[in-house]
Amino acid sequence: MSDTDTVLAGGGELGALLRSLDWSRTPLGPVEDWPPSLRTSVSTMLGSPYPIALYWGPEYVLMYNDAFRPILGSKHPGSVGVPARQALAEVWNVLEPMLEGVRTTWIPSYVQDLCVFLERRGFAEECFFTWSYIPTRDEESRFAGVFTIASETTRQVLSDRRFKTIRELSIRTALDKNVEGVLRSMEQVLAQAGADVPFALLYGVETGEARLVAGTGLERGGTAAPPQLALAEDSPWPVAEVLRSGREVLVEDLGSRFGVLPGGPWPEPATRALLLPMSLGSSTEANAVLVAGLSPRLPLDEGYRDFLRLLARQVAADTARARAYEEERRRAEQLAELDRAKTAFFSNVSHEFRTPLTLMLGPLEDALTDTEEPLASHQRERLSLVYRNGMRLSKLVNSLLDFSRLEAGRAKVAFQPTDLPAFTAELVSHFESAARRAGLLLTVDLQANSEPVWVDREAWEKVVFNLLSNALKYTFEGGITVTLRAQGGEAVLRVRDTGTGIPEQALPHVFERFHRVEGARARSHEGSGIGLALVQELVKLHGGSIHVRSVVGEGSTFSVHLPLGTAHLPSGRVLAREEARATQTRAEPYVAETLGWMDSEAGLRRGPPAPSPAPTSPRARVLVVDDNADMRAYVTGLLRPAFEVEAVGDGVRALELMRAHPPDLILSDVMMPRLGGFGLLREIRATESLKTVPFILLSARAGEEASVEGLEAGADDYLVKPFSARELLARVQSHLELARMRREAAAHEAREVSLREAVHARDDFLSVASHELKTPLAALRLQLETLERTLPGEVRALVSERLSAARRQIQRLAGLIETMLDVSLLAAGRLRLKLEPVDLAVLVTDGVAQMREELARQQCALTLESEASLRGEFDATRLGQLLRNLLSNAARYGAGKPVEVRLRREGRHARLEVVDHGMGVKPEHQARIFHRFERAVSARHFGGLGLGLWVSRQVVEAHGGSISLTDTPGGGATFTVELPLQGS
């Protein structure tokens, strides 16, 4: 082994390279002349698994091991044995001071994440290393060289730098509330990230072109950053390709496209850019492209790509969040504007309603109270109904107006000192009659206050009236208790009921506008949903508060707290003394409404007379279901002249009645307590005995959507309030008539099914009977033949004619049995043809020959005109049966008259005609002659079952042919059969 092999033993690839090198041509000289210190250092370097370089001698000659080799990249192997000034010329300005510092001070040096620019990939690459420089001595303890242990940290440093960019972008855009702000923040952050993104352009796609929405590092409007880009192949940036493919596109010829583009902080221009698809705003599809310039000092590795993808996703997420915030804010503004417009509308329309309402209710009240010219009884009932509902409309209008005023801050209130217990007692007393009618105990416990309470009397009336109406509406047994106490500087009013209660999840929403508890049992489903919201606003107007406690099935307690004194009230609204005013007029709408909820089915008032249709006989029974007593009375009055009418107040009661006595038609409101119209409809359609009863929905919800919803739910019709008497009657009558027609159609269908079953049973019988008759008939034929063979000659001669007649009758009976069997096969769809090549001319000739004797007995002259040969695929047995049927038919109805058989080719078909000159077929019978059991003449002496022609038609059609009947000139019938020939 040579000295070189000994000194440079091992070391893998670099060891082999060092052993192969001619060291005599290097500043270190031959290996044989190397001092022990150098030999030891090289051996240590080659044997180490860590990246180590050795700089030796005054020229710092470079040697390194396998682990260090990747650091040099393409500089390997040319750097081995070469002075560092030459091998690492591009970083010598950084490397030399560190080497010299170690040489002169003998102090090891450590540098972390040092940035150097190595030309190891054909360009000055931005690299980061952590270095340890350790001096080595020679045999005389003089400086000999430097051990360098290196660790490349480029990936970690770049990753940290890029993460900081993403984090800074996230922090900046988190405060942006619109897309424009996000884009500006993106520009600012990327302007500071030039080492990774020398320039960036963001193009959003709208209406067929890309528009520049953000950019940094390039002059806007320049050749490389046009404001708009056409989505075409020759566009400066391939935006269209990115959007079409949904993939990233690398552009590597920026110099030829745009000239010199900035390379960020580096002097070299950027020559490459990566285009990434992304989405802006809330879109889930790519609608934007990020053009990211690439650093001229970095390779485009997977880490670089991941950074740019993460950047695009971050911008997309930030713009989506900002767009969502913008949409939410816009929706909030629109809702606020709608709310303001709605409030203004309610205010305006309520004012507009008041004038016509006053002009309606005033004259109505005058007419009802007129004692000089009193109304007739039925007229009084009509006008009372109108007056009650006018008062209800007035109450609703006033509530809407009050609410709109409160929301707009324009409520006109005057707080005056009030004996609140006495005033509240007066208000509660208006509801005593309604409570009695409902079977409820109304308890009042109002303790006198030591001082007056300042309230707006009209507002307090509405608070009490609404709370009592609410309690009556939802309480069916037990009672209502009203208490008033002075507690802790407040007057506390409590209205407690033993009603149905409010579900816990609904309690936070009780005082919200238009909120109604879904599914709650109530005396009526009617209501606007603003009563309790109005109460809360009126209480707040007094500086007070309202609370509710409730347990489902036990009841609810509403508590109103009003501060005592006037310190909490606006001074300009406080009056010095009480001004009493009557409350009867303002209470009337509330009381009338509660009385209308009471179940008054026993005293339903007769509605106004209407155009009366002719009553059906017996009278149809109509069930009216509506929770409004006035509406029940009105509809009942309209229908009663023509129909038997029953009326109930909710769907549960309606179901009970219907199951006991099903009606002919149901007329139901949609919104009702306990069980509404849609629920009732579902129950009816799920009940077998009721599912076909016509169902008409009545609803105040107008519009196509409401009608479609009702019809899709299974209703037969949908009638929108208000409706005319004539329209209601017309719809009820039409649906009753349709129901009658449906019943008749169902009965007809049932009869038809029964008839089909009877025919099927008859066909089964024919099949069984035919099979059963064949056996004894075959035995009879055999016995007859045996008898004929065994008789002596002289006896046979005497009975020959009788034996022949017997054979003919047996043959006729066999034919009838075969026909019956064919009928059963055809009816069951089990007839199968045995097709084989057949010469139709031969078949017809043989069949005519077989029938000559029978026709001769009927004195029918039989002639045949036939072509020589007509070939095709036929069932010879069935066609023989067809010919026998037609000739038998001709002989039966044309006895003593000639019969002609003609067979010829017509195009691709064979035409067979059987012509007789008998009695013919009447025109009215011709359409049915090919039906089962149809005969041309019903006279018994002609015989026949009426099945032959039906079987014949089935056989012909099974061959793909046709059979028809025409009159024979001069009298008689001509049957024409057309059959497809071979090849057709």
SS3 for 418? strand
Mean pLDDT of the chain: 82
Per-residue pLDDT band at 791 (split at 50, 70, 90): confident
Per-residue model confidence (pLDDT) at position 943: 45
The string of pLDDT tens digits covering residues 231-256 is 887 889 999 899 888 899 999 989 88
Q: Is the pLDDT of residue 544 over 90?
A: yes
Measured in whole angstroms, the distance separating CA 806 from the mean position of its chain's CA atoms is 79
Distance of alpha carbon 101 from alpha carbon 694, whole angstroms: 106
List beta partners, residue 915.
900, 974
Lowest mean per-residue pLDDT among 707-721, 826-840, 936-950: 936-950
Q: Which of 524, 677, 680 is nearest to 594 (CA)?
A: 524
Per-residue model confidence (pLDDT) at position 634: 85
More confident position, 210 or 530: 210
Q: Between the CA atoms of 531, 532, 538 and 542, what dihedral angle is there, to the nearest 10 degrees? A: 160
Q: Which of 678, 693, 699, 708 is nearest to 738 (CA)?
A: 693
Per-residue pLDDT band at 717 (split at 50, 70, 90): confident
Q: Mean per-residue pLDDT for 850-863? A: 87
List beta partners, residue 555.
551
Which domains, and CATH codes, for the chain? 3-152 (3.30.450.20), 161-332 (3.30.450.40), 411-597 (3.30.565.10), 601-723 (3.40.50.2300), 833-980 (3.30.565.10)
Distance of alpha carbon 537 from alpha carbon 546, whole angstroms: 10
Q: Is the pLDDT of residue 615 over 50?
A: no
Is-above-0.85 flag for pTM? no
Per-residue model confidence (pLDDT) at position 802: 72
State the greatest distance between any 2 C-alpha atoms of the chain, in Å, as a whole number: 163
Element (H, E) at 902: strand 899-906
Element (H, E) at 175: none
Q: What strands, in cross-sheet order, belong to the sheet with 200-206?
A: 228-230, 209-216, 200-206, 288-293, 273-278, 249-251
Per-residue pLDDT band at 643 (split at 50, 70, 90): very high
Q: Mean per-residue pLDDT for 350-374? A: 74
Lowest mean per-residue pLDDT among 400-404, 500-504, 542-546: 400-404
Per-residue pLDDT band at 766 (split at 50, 70, 90): low
Q: Is the pLDDT of residue 141 over 90?
A: no
Q: Mean per-residue pLDDT for 651-671? A: 90
Per-residue pLDDT band at 749 (split at 50, 70, 90): confident
The string of pLDDT tens digits covering residues 476-535 is 899 999 999 988 889 999 999 999 898 988 888 888 877 777 667 777 766 667 788 889
Distance of alpha carbon 475 from alpha carbon 236, whole angstroms: 77
Q: Which of 459, 453, 370 is nearest to 417 (CA)?
A: 453
Per-residue model confidence (pLDDT) at position 525: 66
Per-residue pLDDT band at 380 (split at 50, 70, 90): confident
Q: Mean per-residue pLDDT for 776-796? A: 70
Amino acid letter, residue 271: T
Contact between 3 and 11 (Cβ < 8 Å) = no
Per-residue model confidence (pLDDT) at position 551: 92
Q: Between the CA atoms of 808, 814, 820 and 825, what dihedral angle is there, to the nearest 10 degrees? A: -140
More confident position, 428 or 921: 428
Lowest mean per-residue pLDDT among 393-397, 537-541, 811-815: 811-815
Most confident of the following: 278-292, 379-393, 624-638, 896-910: 896-910
- Ramachandran bin of 478, using left for φ above 0, alpha for ψ from -120 to 50, beta for the remaining angles: left
Per-residue model confidence (pLDDT) at position 15: 81
The string of pLDDT tens digits covering residues 149-204 is 888 888 999 999 999 999 999 888 888 888 888 899 999 999 999 999 999 999 99
Q: Is the pLDDT of residue 331 over 50?
A: yes
Handedness of CA 168, 170, 174, 179 (dihedral sign): positive
Per-residue model confidence (pLDDT) at position 976: 93
Contact between 461 and 399 (Cβ < 8 Å) = no
Share above pLDDT 90 across residues of the chain, in percent, rounded to a whole number: 23
Per-residue pLDDT band at 817 (split at 50, 70, 90): low
For residue 540, give every residue at least 6 positions away whose Cβ sits within 8 Å of its Cβ, in sequence order, or none: none
Instruction: Kindly give the interhelix angle for 584-597 and 629-639, rounded to the nearest 10 degrees.
Output: 60
Q: Is the pLDDT of residue 436 over 70?
A: yes
More confident position, 958 or 948: 958
Q: Is the pLDDT of residue 450 over 90?
A: no
Per-residue model confidence (pLDDT) at position 938: 47
Per-residue model confidence (pLDDT) at position 605: 38
DSSP string, 243-264: HHH-S-EEE--HHHHHS---BT
For residue 218, give every residue at least 6 positions away whose Cβ sits within 8 Å of its Cβ, in sequence order, or none: 199, 201, 224, 225, 261, 262
Q: Which of 103, 134, 98 is nearest to 116 (CA)?
A: 98
Measured in whole angstroms, the distance separating CA 649 from the mean position of its chain's CA atoms is 36
Per-residue model confidence (pLDDT) at position 667: 93
Share above pLDDT 70 across residues of the chain, in percent, rounded to a whole number: 84
Q: Is the pLDDT of residue 584 over 60?
A: no
Q: Is the pLDDT of residue 571 over 90?
A: no
Contact between 38 and 28 (Cβ < 8 Å) = yes
Handedness of CA 815, 816, 817, 822 (dihedral sign): positive
Distance of alpha carbon 834 from alpha carbon 955, whole angstroms: 12
Per-residue pLDDT band at 600 (split at 50, 70, 90): very low
Per-residue pLDDT band at 701 (split at 50, 70, 90): low
